[in-house]
Structure 1
Amino acid sequence: MRSIIRSVPGRATARAVLFAALCVSAVECQAAAAQVDTKASDGKGLRCSAPSSQASAASAGDLIEADTPSDGTRLFAASKPFALVFTTRAPQNDTLIWQIRDTWNVVRASGRFSVAAGAMSWTLNCASPIAGYFAVSASLERAQGELSSRGTRPAGIATFGVLPDTAATLPAVRFPYEDLHRFGGQGTAYLAPGQHCCDGDGYRPVYTALGLTWINDNRNWYMEEPDKPGTFDPATKQLTPYLQRGDLLRLIQLDGIPKWASTTGKQTHSYAPTSLAQMKEYMAKVGAESNRVRTTYFPKQRDNYYQVTWEPDADGGLPWRDSDANFVAMYKAVWEGIHQTDPQAVVMGLTYSSVQGNVTWMRRLGPLGIGRYMDGMTVHGYYDIGTTPSHPPERVADTRNQGTVSGALAASMRALRHEMRQYLKPGAPLFVTETGISYDIGESYGKRYPGADVLYAQAAVVARTHLILLGEGADMTYVFYLADMPDAAPGYGIFFELEHAKGAYGPSRISPKPAALAVAAMTRIVDGTSTLGPLKALPNGVHAYAFRRLGGGKIVTALWTHDNDKWSAKTGFNAGQSVEYRLRVDAPGTSGEVTTLDMMGNAAAVPYRDGVATLKLSPTPLYVVSSNADVFKDAVTTPEGYVAR
């Protein structure tokens, strides 16, 4: 069997030659041409052997198929072997030409091998010490063709990911209690054989692979007692089996009123119940059950966390239409009921859909006393009309930090923390329980959309958004959404959904986007930290936040650059943008090395002299790991009222 398999060398000229020779379709060639020189391949990366086996395949199907069989996540450990399987249905003997590109659309591996006529599958054994997202493309030399689209994944690619191993740079920290985990998510995928939505475990193995710990658990009144009062028994209520392992943490949802307790006669989120006493009684039962659950299944969790309302925005799907006084009274009933039976309760709200909306409503409801019935703050982290690659969180500036300028995420977070200090107890936790980045406004799933540039930009903006939220003083942040779904702006998923053209809830087949691997790296690097805050005196276009590992550990500084003029769907998402920045990592007069980690978690050593490391920043986050915490004491602005938990 004739076969040519190679890893791609790291010179731009070599990449250009391979680009010209191996582009599989005109669309991919156009996308690659714009970005071919933006990131080097070192020649020591992803490698695949010649086909190690071949077998007959089903006669019905596409001309060419490709997949990486796994536990359903299509995610693999760094440097560990995995299989890349091509299926061909060539009308005559032919040659398969394939290549694998990374997030930056750089060819990381490529090859060609002879294929026999008919339906055959060919298995290549691969491994990659380089972490990140990878897209496989393939065509036949004679019959041509390409990989077909699958669900929301466009034609021309099949995707997989390699998870980073950051342990050498950042050994695992010891969590004094599990509540200190900083990442959660929304969305499920039922990947185990025989599972379908929505029976079984929709969180494993994908959440644990990504490093997401927090999930929602429903104890909503309208769900637990839909038809009459008194049917919820805290002594017999069983915790959902997938939560009984204790490694995924609960954010307990309380929003909504059952129809029998509603002033409208219908289940509602818009009005207070007819009897606040009945609401308080129900909440006391939830508190008792949650306290029992925590001590039984979550012995290393300090508190229980409850979210009272969900996006009560007037123009949203669950609008509050009752009075401000009744809103506060409802919070009072919930708070008193929960605290009556749960000594470790943290009751949280208001959970408007944007950070700015929560600022506005705290200014309105705070003087009415709502802060007395909030042990912490939950918000959704949306910041613009369309949180998209073309609407990144740095696009709009508001230097006054009053939280009144739409689109300015950092300023809104600063204004929110100010309101928290005004109305909540010192050290009250701040959870951001939903933030997602969709495709651009007006776009839709399609055979040729999204392209590599959009997927790259989405990954960068997902990471940057959550780093801003945490760096500006959020204790925890939720990634939204696991896989592409219908009934929303397209593209929120950090995974493609492979069976439905517009996505689906609780899918059984998914494959990663670059955003999934950016999240996997971010959780490994930033989870197990407390926030130090944004760096001071940054030049225009540079963004930087410092964190410290728990237990007095190392400093992690996340840095990137953004230029509005070079970042939009119209002008292109300029991956090649580079800005030099000098970061102080040690005392004057010292020299040595720090470790940097790229957006995908790949490590590199960077020297420093006189205590300063010279960095080249790009639109994707660069994480710098250093040891001297003293040099950061006066270099950061601690978020207002923030207390490391």
Structure 2
Amino acid sequence: MSFVSAAPAADQVSWTVQDDLGNIKGSGHFPVPGGTQTSTISCTSTTSGYFAITATLTNAGGTLPHLGTRPTGIATFGVLPNLSGVLPAVSYAHQDQHRFGMQGLNGFTAMLTKLGVSRVIDDRQMSSMEPNGPNTWTPGTSYVSTMYKGGSIMRLVRLDGIPAWASPTGAYEDDTNAPTDLSYYQSYMGRVGTDTEAMRKTYFPNQQSNYYQVTWEPNWKDSSANFIALYKAVYTGLHATDPNAVVMGTTSPNPGACAWCEGGQLQTYGALGLGQYIDGVSTHSYYSSDPSPSQPPEQYDTDSNPANVARALDQRMRALRSQMQALKPNMRLWSSEVGISYDPGSAYGPNFPSGNQLYAQAAVAARTHLIVLGEGAQVTYFFYGADYPTEVGFGSFFDMVNPQGSWSAQTVSPKPEAMAFAALTNIIDGTQTLGRLNGLPTMAYGYAFQQLGGGSVITALWTHNNANWPTTAGSYSPTASMTYSLKVDNAGTNGTVTVLDMMGNPYTVGYANGVVNLTLTESPIYVVSNNASVMSAQVTAPIGYTGQ
């Protein structure tokens, strides 16, 4: 760690390193002369996760500066978990089996790889490729980002967006109206299919399918018949040239069953024939207009009003899976976006966010993505890379340059959320979803996964209690807990399991008579066990989920 001091006279620097819960993991002092001085000290980490450095001059005071969206007083870094001694390496039969994507770090190939992210979104909208007129785009390698040429970062091909010249309004349209010439739109999609399949063969030969997202949170103003016609044109054009196309939609912001939610859209447009023109479903998984620490995904699960219970994310995902099964059985489900912001009314600034806000964001974000996967999505996308303007705090990283964030930040520093994501990917990628645990007590949550090829069982568990988690901005308790007994082995057997905390740090817990006693907090833990038949007998698999 390098410290730059500017003491007016000889002084000493007092420093600490704190984890996501504010626990001091290291501290010390060292002398510095007057004037500008760079001092470097070496530390060895025995734990993984997020860390914040604090520093001050003992006599002259001062602190680390406010930079970009990072508040005054801290510098941050992350240590990736090393689970080689805890979880066996997974053998992937094909690249599609990876489960995690991200929006907002396109081009950061090394960063994405370290985070365990294997998918991003790539633009092939007609508005992007042919903004000024028809037949102006010819597929070819000149349009291929260098990040795909390594073959490790795969693509979800985005198709929404109609340029002004092809729009019935004479202006750019995005998911409001069908283009004026659907025949041309179909032929354009044929070129996209040719381009995509050529890229797959060249850069992703172990990827079985090519994945397309037709619309993006549609605010449709055209007729329902034209919505179906748009999907028909896209589906027909892509499948004419891409034998491996998986065409997905409709990508509502909310996965539930309301009229504009994903389940509701599938019901409405499914009655008009949409099922003929999709191979899978893509949704965004927002459960609230303000997904944040103060509005977590489980907040309505214990509500006395059944209508409110249906608003919880787990209930919304189940409703979506049920509607998918009614429309077209056993389709793939991708969540191509969900993120957790800071609490409503927040603003970037020198004194915000607090460490408690950052901890709560990480815990809620990890739980949100576990619910999405546990309730039957094959893939989930993190949102967003770094902080950006207007919607405060959605970034997994601080933007170190722009005080209000930027959509294209280049200098970033991790929040606890980024390191919780890194642990999540290291633990859950390479798994099949077994399902949600049955018979959980009120305020306990649990989902079981199994590594591909019949490997280790991983059970994610946490508790959420609204009483310890205020519905308006406040102090979020990292210590409030409940006990839970999990059956991990056959009756009469004794042994140990490995438990991983939210940041991927392992510890060993003994079990007796096949049952391990656990302490659950608002931060998810992951229990690694080996008896898959015992776990499979106590879960409910998501409707229509057919694995990876």
Q: TM-score range by the shorter chain?
A: over 0.9
2:456 equivalent in structure 1: 554
Check whether the contact 1:287–1:337 (CA below 8 A) recurs between aligned residues.
yes
Distance 1:573 1:494 in 2: 19
Unmatched 5+ stretches in structure 1 = 1-83, 189-200, 313-318
Aligned AA (2:209): D
Check whether the contact 1:263–1:271 (CA below 8 A) recurs between aligned residues.
yes
Q: Does 1:381 align with 2:285?
A: yes
Distance 1:584 1:574 in 2: 27
Instruction: Decide which of 607, 626, 629 is 2:529's aligned counterpart.
Output: 626
Check whether the contact 2:49–2:78 (CA below 8 A) recurs between aligned residues.
yes
Cα shift at 1:398: 7.7
Query: For each residue in 1:153-204, what CA deviation from the matched residue of structure 2 results, as whole angstroms up to 9, or x when unmatched?
Result: 111111111110011111220111101110010112xxxxxxxxxxxx7222
Cα shift at 1:232: 2.3
- What pairs with 1:246-645 in structure 2 (closer than 5 Å)? 246-269=151-174, 270-312=176-218, 319-356=219-256, 357-397=261-301, 407-424=311-328, 426-487=329-390, 489-568=391-470, 569-645=472-548
Q: Secondary structure at the match of 1:205?
A: helix
Check whether the contact 1:149–1:447 (CA below 8 A) recurs between aligned residues.
yes
Q: Secondary structure at the match of 2:156?
A: strand
1:104 equivalent in structure 2: 21
Check whether the contact 1:88–1:121 (CA below 8 A) recurs between aligned residues.
yes
Cα shift at 1:504: 1.2
Cα shift at 1:406: 6.7
Count of aligned pairs: 542
Check whether the contact 1:348–1:378 (CA below 8 A) recurs between aligned residues.
yes
Check whether the contact 2:300–2:308 (CA below 8 A) recurs between aligned residues.
no
Check whether the contact 1:403–1:414 (CA below 8 A) recurs between aligned residues.
no
Distance 1:237 1:101 in 2: 46
Check whether the contact 1:529–1:548 (CA below 8 A) recurs between aligned residues.
yes
Distance 2:246 2:518 in 1: 41
Check whether the contact 2:443–2:463 (CA below 8 A) recurs between aligned residues.
yes
Cα shift at 1:404: 7.8
Q: Does 1:162 align with 2:79?
A: yes
TM-aligned CA distance change 1:634 to 1:229, over 3 Å? same
TM-score by length of 1: 0.82
Cα shift at 1:237: 5.5
Greater shift, 398-407 or 295-304, is seen at 398-407
Distance 1:173 1:90 in 2: 52
Query: Between the two proteins, what is the percent identity of the paired residues?
Result: 47
Q: Secondary structure at the match of 2:336?
A: strand
Check whether the contact 2:109–2:153 (CA below 8 A) recurs between aligned residues.
no
Distance 2:451 2:535 in 1: 13
- What pairs with 1:170-319 in structure 2 (closer than 5 Å)? 170-188=87-105, 202-234=107-139, 238-269=143-174, 270-312=176-218, 319=219
Cα shift at 1:477: 0.4
Q: Secondary structure at the match of 2:504?
A: coil
Distance 2:305 2:152 in 1: 37
Distance 1:400 1:203 in 2: 46
Aligned AA (2:208): R
Distance 2:273 2:28 in 1: 67
Unmatched 5+ stretches in structure 2 = none
Distance 1:136 1:399 in 2: 40
1:16 equivalent in structure 2: none
Distance 2:306 2:165 in 1: 42
Distance 1:444 1:546 in 2: 37
Cα shift at 1:235: 5.3
Distance 1:90 1:501 in 2: 26
1:36 equivalent in structure 2: none
Aligned AA (1:372): Q
TM-aligned CA distance change 1:406 to 1:442, over 3 Å? farther
TM-aligned CA distance change 1:609 to 1:207, over 3 Å? same
1:68 equivalent in structure 2: none
TM-aligned CA distance change 1:346 to 1:158, over 3 Å? same
TM-score by length of 2: 0.96
CA RMSD of aligned residues (A): 1.6
Distance 1:403 1:495 in 2: 36
Q: Secondary structure at the match of 1:346?
A: strand
Cα shift at 1:402: 9.3
Q: Which has the larger radius of gyration?
A: 1
Distance 2:222 2:44 in 1: 58
Q: Secondary structure at the match of 1:606?
A: strand
Aligned AA (1:555): V
Cα shift at 1:236: 6.1
Distance 2:90 2:124 in 1: 32
Distance 2:13 2:509 in 1: 40
Distance 1:244 1:403 in 2: 48
Cα shift at 1:598: 0.4
1:51 equivalent in structure 2: none
Check whether the contact 1:385–1:407 (CA below 8 A) recurs between aligned residues.
no
TM-aligned CA distance change 1:480 to 1:570, over 3 Å? closer
TM-aligned CA distance change 1:475 to 1:404, over 3 Å? farther
Check whether the contact 2:428–2:449 (CA below 8 A) recurs between aligned residues.
yes
Check whether the contact 1:359–1:403 (CA below 8 A) recurs between aligned residues.
no
